[in-house]
Amino acid sequence: MRTGDLVSMLATRVTPIDPHTVGKRFGLAVLIGMLGATSLLVAVFGVRSEMPQMLATPWFWLRLAFPLAVVVGALLLAGRLSRPGSSAVLGWVMLVLPLSAVWLAALGFIWATPRGLRLALVLGSTWRVCTLSIVLLSVPTFIAVVWAMRGLAPTRLRLAGAGAGLLAGAQAALVYTLYCLEMAVPFWGVWYVLGMLVPVAIGSVLGPVLLRW
């Protein structure tokens, strides 16, 4: 067979690729993860009777905005890490902004609080269970995001696994805000962030195994 004939034959058998494949897979993964995490929250922790009062406070919405902003950045980062050669710079920038804002605000609150009350501001009343709860709620999203990535072509497997863990942890923190009563910014800056970082570490370890293709 001539080279030109071979090229023509291969070209005629090319199947068009949907340019929105990445968005569709991650959109479905995030939806499934959100439903799974919310169901797990209700099953394990229940529903707060104080929720109507919490919804009326601006601090609740500020707390909700923090993990939501991280979810947006993590979603962009995970999508870029799922494609060979894609730049993830914008994703990193979108992650640094909300984290920096919360940490700066936390430092401001700690500095303005009397020395004897600072530790209580950071620990709150649920520091022992907050991080573990977020890690638990991250499991459904982590499974769904790994499924989404496996259908694409990640090449930096350890970093992609960390990205999947970050997206799962951020979405879990977002769901956990529907139950958590802590309203102090320093608490979010420590225990919410730690709850997001544990899935990142787990994802970086499991990435080369789960995302291998």
- Residues in the chain predicted with pLDDT less than 50, given as ranges, are 1
Closest listed residue to residue 86, CA positions, set 75, 95, 78, 97: 78
Distance CA 64, CA 189 (A): 13
Distance CA 1, CA 43 (A): 64
CB 70: neighbour CB atoms within 10 A? 26
CB 98 within 8 A of CB 83: no
- CA distances (Å), 72 to each of 3, 50, 97, 123, 171, in order? 47, 28, 11, 27, 10
pLDDT at 155: 86
CB 154 within 8 A of CB 160: yes
What letter does residue 114 receive in the DSSP assignment? -
Distance of CA 174 to the CA centre of its chain: 9
Compute the half-sphere exposure of residue 141: CA atoms within 13 Å on the CB side of its CA. 36
pLDDT at 9: 53
Q: What's the token pair of residue 118?
A: 């600072």
pLDDT at 162: 95
pLDDT at 2: 61
- CA distances (Å), 99 to each of 32, 65, 122, 149, 190, in order? 25, 11, 16, 25, 11
Residue showing tokens 């709150």: 124
pLDDT at 132: 96
Residues 6+ apart with CB under 8 A from 86: 79, 80
